[in-house]
Amino acid sequence: MAIIEIVFLSLATIISIICGILIGRQVLIKPNALRFTCFFCTFLNISLLILGYTRIFADFPDVLWYYDVYLLLSAIYSEALCICILNLGQRFYPRDYWNTFLFKLAVVSLILSAVSCITTVVIVILDCYEIITTIFFIITLTSFVICGWAAFTYSFLPIFSSHSHVQSHLNHFNTAIGIYYMVSLGIIASASIICHIFLHISGGPSSAEWQIGASVDIILRSAVIIIVGTPPPERMIQKLRIKLFERAVINVTLRERGVVSTGIIMDEFCGWQGKMDQQIN
């Protein structure tokens, strides 16, 4: 038993508990399907942490069963996360334009990855030929990659769209919110890819390195849950909007309000909080 394993596992536990408290508060304040899904994902993370503790302190379950359960719970988390991102992305589309090819591709690959993941777990339990297990594992991994890419691209494509019907649906605040989600989730996704590569080369669940990587993975998952399940920071969105659209904000203010007072243009956007709440709730 390595001390560093316990340190990382404890850190992941603390962050997961904080994540659960934050999301639980949001569920109580303003419940919706997105936040319920995030709350469910928190319990998946806690379940993985419990398995980590039993592996370290009681050497239970055995490596095979632990790995199967880890893969299954991770797959459920990934499925739920993709659904959350798709749900989030729909809010950046006009009402009649959300059902795009990327949306359909994400849904199809989501279903395929779920079926192939369950099949992989069953094959491992039945101790079938290794080549069959490898094939289904590759299918599962490929499906999840396609699903994640399609969901991410679908959700944030409207921010850069040149179509007028999409641009007219997005004001400066909507765009700033979309960029916040895109950058935040993109950074964590990049870190997760590095983490999973580390898990793949670390020597399997029986090694201390794997347990450390698994704890880091849960920390990254908790960060994703917090980003998706809680409202964006108001000050950050304000600063981002001003930073990205300062010239446009000034032009709109001059054209529509004609407000110039003592040489200072008053940058006002009435009802911006309501606009933000519509996007995140």
pLDDT for the residue numbered 252? 46
Domain CATH code at residue 174: 1.20.1070
pLDDT surpassing 70 at residue 85: yes
The average confidence (pLDDT) of the chain is: 81
Domain that holds residue 155: 3-280
> Looking at residue 266, what is its pLDDT?
33
CA distances from 114 to 65, 139, 141 (A): 19, 10, 10
Distance from first CA to last CA of the chain, Å, rounded?
A: 44
Q: Compute CA distances 245 → 24, 41, 92, whole Å.
A: 34, 35, 18
**pTM of the predicted model, to two decimals?**
0.80
Residue 274 has a pLDDT of: 46
Is the omega angle on the peptide bond into residue 61 within 30 degrees of 0, that is, cis? yes
Please name the helix (run of DSSP H) or strand (run of DSSP E) that holds residue 260, with its range, or none. Answer: strand 260-261
Q: Which pLDDT belongs to residue 94?
A: 78
Q: Which amino acid does the sequence have at 276?
A: M
Read off the tokens for 157: 């494509």
Average pLDDT (98-109) is 88
The pLDDT of residue 63 is above 50:
yes
The number of domains in the chain is: 1
- Helix, strand, coil share of the chain (percent; to 5): 80, 0, 20
User: Over the stretch 217-239, which tens digit does the pLDDT of each residue have?
Assistant: 999 999 999 999 999 998 888 88
pLDDT digits (tens, 9 = 90+) for 140-192: 878 888 998 999 999 888 877 645 455 555 677 778 888 899 999 999 988 98
Query: How many angstroms separate the CA atoms of 66 and 53, rounded?
Result: 11
pLDDT of residue 139: 85
pLDDT digits (tens, 9 = 90+) for 104-127: 999 999 999 888 888 887 887 777
Give residue 65's Cα distance to chain centre. 27
pLDDT in tens, 1-60: 578 999 999 999 999 999 999 999 999 999 999 999 999 999 999 999 999 999 888 888
